[in-house]
Chains A and B, each alone.
Chain A
Amino acid sequence: MSKKVSRRQFLTYTLGGTAGFFASTMLFPMVRFAIDPVLKEGGGVGFVEAGLSEKDVTDTPQLIHYDVEAVDGWYEFIEKRTAYVFKNDKGKIVALSPTCKHLGCTVNYNGNPKFKNEFFCPCHFGRYFKDGTNVPGTPPLKPLDEYETKIENGRLLIGPVVKA
């Protein structure tokens, strides 16, 4: 059998090709438009003043409250956030989110006298070491979120969550 394309087949293929052109031309911008949230770089939050100067940060985690200007699309609002701030063994300043990675309750440092120097979640007894790592065998499966930190003019600034 010859592999020659008949006139009818050729026209049909051309028709199919043109249909593909129509569909892709129309749908490409629409689909890109719809999936933008997935592809968009998390504009996220920049660094904000934590209300604390560098020298106030101690070896013991302390809970600080600060405001972040959050943006949800076109909607801007002030989000109240909290973080545990301390200097680790290497002298680096660490800021941990107190939100438990199990079901989102709030953890407390030394929240339970039985577990010294650990973060404790009262909801289901989740525990984290001082560096935020989850204690194996307790409900959380991931370490606490860590915020980026930086020092400017002696003041502590807190940034977005460090991506693992």
Chain B
Amino acid sequence: MLRAIYDWVDERLDITPIWRDVADHEVPEHVNPAHHFSAFIYCFGGLTFFVVLIQILSGMFLAMYYVPDIINANESVKYLQDEVAMGAIVRGMHHWGASVAIVMLFLHTMRVFFTGSYKNPRELNWVVGVLIFFVMLGLGLTGYLLPWDNKAYFATKVTIEIVNSVPFIGEYIGLLLQGGDIVGAQTIARFFAIHVFFLPAALLGLLGAHFIIIRRQGISGPL
């Protein structure tokens, strides 16, 4: 039955070559942990993507309860964590996932650096990768404010003060982040928009580029 549906679609759209290209590409021995255990270092990139998927999913579900507003944000986080079934797990996945994503991303970056895989002809993919790193740090920074507890509030205040201390443009950027005269109602709305729309959009675009480039160039050869 499924086969028949697939054939029916494939006959009209010829979709087989699209996914077959991904499915049949050759994976060399030196990245395969089944052949060399030390090749597990090549798994960090995939694991980072795995955590990113967890983050996107758990984030979408958290948004069902979360309200980005100074009066309600903290209450809504407490509610979804304490009152909603599995709330502690879903928020826990998003909370710990953020840290684990940074760790995995860091390990992946170090693997690429120390195997010299960023060199000609893979310069562009390295740049895209570092941009992904920056976007992830941005996601961590903006997400930290959203629970609107003292920790979130004062850390963000310090962050904005640091931004303000950048010469010439710092105060404008700080004000742009803050959205008003104080860290308050407009700041949390802004950080929410950046955290759930702007940065994830940038992240998806960069991830797409990262994967297309690696598919075109193939993984770097053995040392």
Contact = CB atoms under 8 A, between A and B. Distances in A.
Complex: A in contact with B (CB within 8 Å):
yes
Interface in A6-58: 34-35, 37-38, 42, 44
Interface stretch (A71-79, A91-99, A124-132): A71-79
Interface stretch (B58-66, B137-145, B172-180): B172-180
Given A72-B180, A72-B186, A38 B70 contact: no
A75 B185 CA distance: 7
B172 A42 contact: no
A73 B172 contact: no
Contacts, number: 30
Contacts of B1: none
Nearest to B178: A37
B176 A72 contact: no
B182 A37 contact: no
A73 B185 contact: yes
B181 A75 contact: no
Contacts of A35: 176
Nearest to A45: B181
A37 B70 contact: no
A72 B175 contact: no
Contacts of B87: none
A44 B184 CA distance: 15
Interface of A: 34-35, 37-38, 42, 44, 70, 72-75
Given A38-B176, A42-B181, A73-B180, 6 more contacts: A38-B172, A70-B182, A72-B181, A73-B179, A73-B189, A75-B70
8 contacts: A37-B178, A37-B180, A37-B186, A38-B172, A73-B186, A74-B185, A75-B70, A75-B185
